[in-house]
Amino acid sequence: MPTRFFSGRESWVFRAQFLDELCGHHPDLIAGALVSDERVRYLVYSPLRETTAGPFGIRGASGSHALALTDSRVIVSRDPHTPGSARTVRVLRYEDILFVELGEALTLGWLVFHFVTPEGVASETMVFQSTGIDLFRTAVRILRGRDRPTDASPAAAREPDANFAQAPPYLRSQLLPVLLNDEQPRLVVQSVQRWRTASGRRPACTIPERLSVVTERSLVIVESERPHRPGALVFGVNVTCIDRPVVREVTIASARGDVDVAEVAVDLGASTAPCRLRYLLDPVGADALKHALMG
């Protein structure tokens, strides 16, 4: 394929219908990763964002990216646009993906795949202009609903769900677009901000506003950034999507120094490649979450 001229600094994220609509070296990078007769279901191009970190501990290499979803794999290409840095292609089988994160904070957006390799658990991060987040929400829905015909319309288009009536609108607006149209919540645990003040120190947020949603298919966790002081505005929201078959075990322990807070540990994948997510909930919500996932 001929290489299309581009700077890597285009101002938009866009969906491509064909490989040759991608910019720069990405058509060749994606094409080189495809196997014979592999069908590309979805393509997105994202121009360069010169950042390697974001909220929620997000870390990833800077560059322009292309994302391709096929019937069985995710392909991510990256061009760093810096002399001496190699272009890369990451190929992930769907069955190796443990969970994905999708979020935004002001103009920055991110999509992170966490997956199993022979060496352990690794991740691949795409950072992008947040105005293009709806294209990545569609990618997450396709990935989550890969065992059924693709329905590109988000669950946000359905009638308001009473399960989320009390949820903060800014969390609800991030949750609904990643749910499938017919996906129904079986449990919604809403966490409000909790603060702790150590002697001689300013208050610290121990639990941000969060929704933990269990459906017949997944555990979806939507949480805000931790504000630096009570009443401060927050701008970042992260959505974590975990397929229920990936959940191996859920354990609960009392949080250190606070009997009214429980630490939930969610073990994912096979024991040969352990991955554990930890976060804090109130004890009642933690028990309900464990029962919904493991009961």
Residue 110 has pLDDT above 60, yes or no: yes
Rounded (to 5) percent helix, strand, coil in the chain: 20, 45, 35
SS3 241: strand
Residues 118 and 9 in one domain: yes
Neighbour-count burial for 112-151, b at 16+ CB within 10 Å, e otherwise: bbbbbeeeebebbbbbbbbebbebbbbbbbbbbbeeeeee
| CATH number reported for the structural domain that contains residue 181 in this entry | 2.30.29
Number of domains in the chain: 2
pLDDT reported for residue 52: 85
Asked if the structure places residue 139 within a domain, the reply is yes
Mean pLDDT of 112-126: 95
SS3 173: helix
Residues 140 and 225 in one domain: no
Asked if the structure places residue 291 within a domain, the reply is yes
pLDDT reported for residue 46: 96
pLDDT reported for residue 257: 65
Residues 4 and 140 in one domain: yes
- Give the pLDDT band of residue 9 (cuts 50, 70, 90): confident
pLDDT reported for residue 272: 76
pLDDT reported for residue 141: 95
| CATH number reported for the structural domain that contains residue 146 in this entry | 2.30.29.30
- Give the pLDDT band of residue 151 (cuts 50, 70, 90): low
* Per-residue pLDDT tens over the stretch 177-235: 999 988 889 999 999 998 887 766 788 898 999 999 999 999 999 999 999 898 899 99
Q: If you search the block for the tokens 């009390």, which residue do you land on?
A: 166
Residue 4 has pLDDT above 70, yes or no: no
Q: What is the largest CA-CA distance in the chain?
A: 65
Cα separation, 171 vs 210, whole angstroms: 7
Q: Is 258 in contact with 196 (CB distance < 8 Å)?
A: yes
Tokens found for residue 118: 């022979």
Phi, psi of 8 (to 5 degrees): 85, -5
pLDDT reported for residue 50: 85
The residue segments making up the domain with residue 56 are: 1-154
Residue 128 has pLDDT above 80, yes or no: yes
Residues 31 and 87 in one domain: yes
Residues 226 and 133 in one domain: no
* Per-residue pLDDT tens over the stretch 221-264: 999 999 989 889 999 999 999 999 999 999 999 877 666 899 99
Which of 2-6, 200-204, 291-295 is predicted with the least confidence, judged by mean pLDDT?
A: 2-6
